[in-house]
Amino acid sequence: MSATLHPPRNSAELIAAHGGRITRTRLAVLEILQSSGHSLSHDDLAARLSAAAVPHDRVTLYRTLDWLVEQGLAHRIKGPDRAWRFNFGGENAAPHAHFHCDRCGHVLCLESVRPDEGFALPEGYRPERTELVFHGTCADCGRQVGRNEAGGS
């Protein structure tokens, strides 16, 4: 949001730039999100924190995620199940579609697909936000399937 010549680069700077205090959980979560290729659920995050031996509390993790989303440092996405997914960024993210892979379960952002196409809604409806989600096989899983089929398993 600020027009500094040196925007914050690392997690600690990012947090501070948003007026938040730098804490163990915020740092770790931000870094995990930044390094993940796809969105992560609360549960995924908790597992990775444990794996990294970062002590944490369920509730604090929920609150940390809420805060990151509030600050525009993370992006909250619906998953195929009842749990939210989170990924890094969102600050400068334009509306985009998502992809739920039926094979690996990952939820991916399709930045290149805009849901704002001109749909003709019935008279009287006033849409303000459009959610577009594809379900199927993602690029990674598609490659694996192709390989297996080619191999003639």
Report the interface residues with DNA, using CB under 7 A.
16, 20-26, 41-43, 55-60, 62-64, 66-67, 81-84
Q: Restricting to residues 53-82, which ones interact with a second copy according to CB under 8 A?
A: 78, 82
Q: What are the backbone angles phi and psi of residue 133, rounded to the nearest 5°?
A: -130, 130
Site membership for a second copy, residue 105 (CB under 8 A):
no
Shortest separation between residue 153's beta carbon and DNA, angstroms: 29
- The item of DNA, a second copy, none sharing an interface with residue 112, based on CB under 5 to 8 Å by kind, is a second copy
Rounded to an integer, what distance in angstroms lies between the CA atom of residue 23 and that of residue 6? 23
The residue (of 83 and 145) whose beta carbon lies closer to DNA is 83
**Secondary structure class of 75 (helix, strand, coil):** strand
Closest distance between a second copy and the C-beta of residue 124, in Å? 3
State the residue for tokens 């290729």.
37
- Paired tokens of 146: 């192709």
CB of 129 to DNA, least distance (A): 19
Give 62-97 as a DSSP string.
HHHHHHHHHTTSEEEEE-SSSSEEEEE--TTPPP-E
Question: Quick check: 46 and 61 in contact, CB under 8 A?
Answer: yes
Q: Which residues bind a second copy (CB under 8 A)?
A: 78, 82, 97, 99, 102, 110, 112-113, 115, 117, 119-140, 142-143
